[in-house]
């Protein structure tokens, strides 16, 4: 085989392997690329825009890599050989300049989108937002509805088309709160209250999880975020209020793994604030986990 055929063969091989590597992707399950809320949708659009803009540089790089390797292979004596040629100001201006311009455009987009998609920034909507307080525990998620006076574990329901104001903390090592289909992600930290504002455009059940290692039961820290109609949501709240026992926080806070969904009545409206505040003062050791 001469070098020419070898180069063609190599490129074909790489493309084939690349194809095999993503052969098993289920398009419908690419949750980040199938957004179900305006925040996730905007984040998805940014992915597309930035990818396209970078391809302006990446495609020529791939092309030149293969083409130069092909054309200037050592046995191609017809190609020019200039062993002392080591600069070309015009070319260098181009490859400092073009990427810089692309980055400048991306920079402007970044600045604007950072402000627009700041997780702490409330969504501008006409209807009244729903407030949900989230506590990462060892190793489960506690969702508190202070206005509805209920609390749930590893599951929460909310009406579609309604902005949700999350307040997020942890009574555990740091976790990260992420629902790929609705948008993401913010750290849940002990002694800190983070905010996140999301919305669902349609009904559906979305998988959420913790994205930051928090100890033994970390992998089981998944939950379901269920978007339903307003009426269904109200019915659900009512059923929880009527059929559940009241929340015993001292029991829930005990470390446990792969907890099933659970539903409680909330008796202490200021629970979330107490959880945040308990790290604010020199507290006795009894509050620190085992």
Partner 1 sequence: MFGRLNADAFKHDLIENLAGYSILIGLVVVIYLMFHHQRWKWIWKEYITSLDPKKIGVMYLVVAFLSLIKGLVDALMMRVQQMFSVGESFGYLEPDHYQQLFTAHGTTMIFFVGMGIVFALMNFVVPLQIGARDVAFPFLNAVSFYLYAVGAGLVVISLVVGVFSGTGWVCYPPLSGLAYNPGVGVDYWIWSVQIAGIGSLLSGLNFFATIVKMRCSGMTLMKMPIFIWAILGTLILILFAFPILTATIGMLTLDRYLDMHFFTPDFGGNPMMYINLIWAWGHPEVYILVLPGFGVFSEVVATFSQKRLFGYVSMIWALGAITFLSFIVWLHHFFTMGAGANVNAFFGIMTMLIAVPTGVKIFNWLFTMHRGRVLFTTPMLWFLGFVLIFTIGGMTGVMMSMAPIDFQVHNSLFLIAHFHSVIIGGVVFGFFAAFAYWFPKIAGFKLNERLGRYAFWCWMIGFILAFMPLYALGLMGATRRLDHYDAATGWQPLFVVAAVGIAIIFLGIGFQILQVIVSIKHRKQNLDTTGDPWNGRTLEWATPSPPPEYNFAVIPHVHDRDAFWTMKHARVHHKPHYEDIIMPKNSAIPPFIGGFSFLLGFCLIWHIMWLAAFSFVGIIICMIIRLSQKETEHLISAKEVEKHI
Query: Hey, which residues between 56 and 75 contact partner 1 (CB under 8 A)?
Result: 57-58, 61-62, 64-65, 68-69, 72-74
Task: Identify residues 130-159 at the interface with partner 1 (CB under 8 A).
Answer: none
Select the residue interacting with partner 1 from 1, 5, 22, 90 (CB under 8 A): 22
Distances (CA, A) of 2 to 8, 14, 16, 76, 137: 10, 19, 21, 10, 63
Minimum distance, C-beta of residue 105 to partner 1, in the bound complex (Å): 10
Residue 133's Cα: distance from chain center in Å?
19
Select the residue interacting with partner 1 from 8, 79, 125, 235 (CB under 8 A): 79
Task: Identify residues 195-224 at the interface with partner 1 (CB under 8 A).
Answer: 195, 207, 209-220, 222
CA atoms within 13 A on the CB side of 58: 6
What SS3 state is found at 195? Answer: strand
Q: Which is nearer to partner 1, 107 or 269 (CB)?
A: 107
Q: Does 185 bind partner 1 (CB under 8 A)?
A: yes
Select the residue interacting with partner 1 from 37, 146, 163, 183 (CB under 8 A): 183
Q: Does 29 bind partner 1 (CB under 8 A)?
A: yes
Q: Does 256 bind partner 1 (CB under 8 A)?
A: no
Task: Write phi, then psi, for 219 (nearest 5 degrees).
Answer: -65, -25
What SS3 state is found at 247? Answer: coil
Nearest to 261 by CA among 233, 227, 220, 213: 220
Q: The tokens of 238 are what?
A: 């009512």
Select the residue interacting with partner 1 from 21, 126, 242, 243 (CB under 8 A): 21
Stretch that binds partner 1, among 112-120, 145-153, 230-238, 240-248 (CB under 8 A): 112-120
Select the residue interacting with partner 1 from 118, 147, 238, 248 (CB under 8 A): 118
Minimum distance, C-beta of residue 140 to partner 1, in the bound complex (Å): 15
Given a contact cutoff of 8 angstroms between Cβ atoms, the answer to whether 209 and 183 are in contact is no
Q: Which is nearer to partner 1, 159 or 184 (CB)?
A: 184
| Distance of alpha carbon 243 from alpha carbon 142, whole angstroms | 18
Q: What is the dihedral of CA 81, 83, 89, 93, to 10 degrees?
A: 80
Q: How many residues bind partner 1 (CB under 8 A)?
A: 108
């Amino acid at each position: 085989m001469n070098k020419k055929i070898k180069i063609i063969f190599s490129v074909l091989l790489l493309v084939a392997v690349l194809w095999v590597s993503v052969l098993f992707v289920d398009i419908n399950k690419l949750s980040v690329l199938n957004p179900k809320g305006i925040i996730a949708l905007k984040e998805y659009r940014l992915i597309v825009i930035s990818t396209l803009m970078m391809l302006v540089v990446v495609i020529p790089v791939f092309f030149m890599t293969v083409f130069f390797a092909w054309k200037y292979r050592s046995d191609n004596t017809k190609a020019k050989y200039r062993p002392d040629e080591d600069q070309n100001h015009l070319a260098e201006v181009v490859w400092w300049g073009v990427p810089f311009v692309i980055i400048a455009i991306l920079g402007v987009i970044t600045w604007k989108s950072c402000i627009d998609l700041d997780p702490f920034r409330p969504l501008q909507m006409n209807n009244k937002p729903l407030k949900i307080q989230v506590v990462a525990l060892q190793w489960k998620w506690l969702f508190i509805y202070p206005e509805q006076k209920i609390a749930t574990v590893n599951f929460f329901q909310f009406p579609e088309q309604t902005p949700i104001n999350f307040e997020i903390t942890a009574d555990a090592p740091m976790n990260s709160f992420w629902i790929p289909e609705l948008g993401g992600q913010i750290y849940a930290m002990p002694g800190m209250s983070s905010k996140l504002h999301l919305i669902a455009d349609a009904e559906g059940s979305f998988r959420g999880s913790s994205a930051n290692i928090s100890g033994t039961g970390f992998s089981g820290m998944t939950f379901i975020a269920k978007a339903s109609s307003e009426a269904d949501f109200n019915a659900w709240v009512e059923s929880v209020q009527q059929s559940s026992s009241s929340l015993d926080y001292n029991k829930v806070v005990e470390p446990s793994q792969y907890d099933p969904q659970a539903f409680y009545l909330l008796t202490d409206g200021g629970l979330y604030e107490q959880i945040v505040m308990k790290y604010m003062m020199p507290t006795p050791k009894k509050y620190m986990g085992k």
